[in-house]
Amino acid sequence: MPANQSMPQQFEPIDLATARITLIAARAAAGVDEGLVAYTLLPNSAPIDSAAAAQSLVRLSKPVACFAQAASGGVVLDCRPIEGATDLKRHHRDVALMKTAFLDSVRTRFAPNVEDPIVWIYYGTGSGLYPISTVGAWVEDYDVQDVGMVIEPPQETWEQQGAVAALRLFRDPGGWVETPP
């Protein structure tokens, strides 16, 4: 398949997909790189699986700031609405910067002729294939603290699934995006 085309894909609803990306980012922010991870979404104290955690995130009013930390066997995630004029203004500024640094970079460098290119998002054993429009919605809805991102060319197996680029997440208290030359 030519590099400037992506394979036809069926994707889950955007609100569920953005919640799943948030869970991958939360694992990175907390430094939890394990296979099965339980999530505790505050204010609840009971651990839940990733499917229930994603559904819980979907129900939150957006945009939200999420703080993640490692806990025994999983991740504790505290997501709170971004409120107040100053916080919302900062969030919208950050969204604009992320879209320029990431979304535009993926389109221009990896898929200039693809309307909605596909990217592979990963951290450790958590990963997924998502349209760039879904990643844009994630950036608008969720501000996961302490996670950094690096744009990379996709590995061959990801490329065979339609990915034009990869977004590697990692723990970074500064939270930044790097685009390789």
Answer whether residue 148 is part of any domain.
Answer: yes
Containing structural domain, residue 165: 14-178
Structure tokens of 141? Answer: 């809805």
Model confidence band, residue 172 (pLDDT cutoffs 50, 70, 90): confident
Pairing status of strand 142-144 against strand 118-123: unpaired
Answer whether residue 103 is part of any domain.
Answer: yes
At residue 179, does pLDDT exceed 60?
no
Answer whether residue 32 is part of any domain.
Answer: yes
What pLDDT is recorded for position 174? 65
Answer whether residue 3 is part of any domain.
Answer: no
pLDDT tens digit sequence for 85-94: 999 999 999 9
Answer whether residue 100 is part of any domain.
Answer: yes
Q: How far is CA 151 from the centre of its chain?
A: 12
Asked if the bond preceding 63 is cis, omega within 30° of 0, the reply is yes
- Domains of the chain: total: 1
Answer whether residue 5 is part of any domain.
Answer: no
At residue 4, does pLDDT exceed 50?
no
What pLDDT is recorded for position 124? 85
- Buried b / exposed e over 51-60, threshold 16 CB at 10 Å, is eebbebbbeb
Cβ contact 148:175 at 8 Å: yes
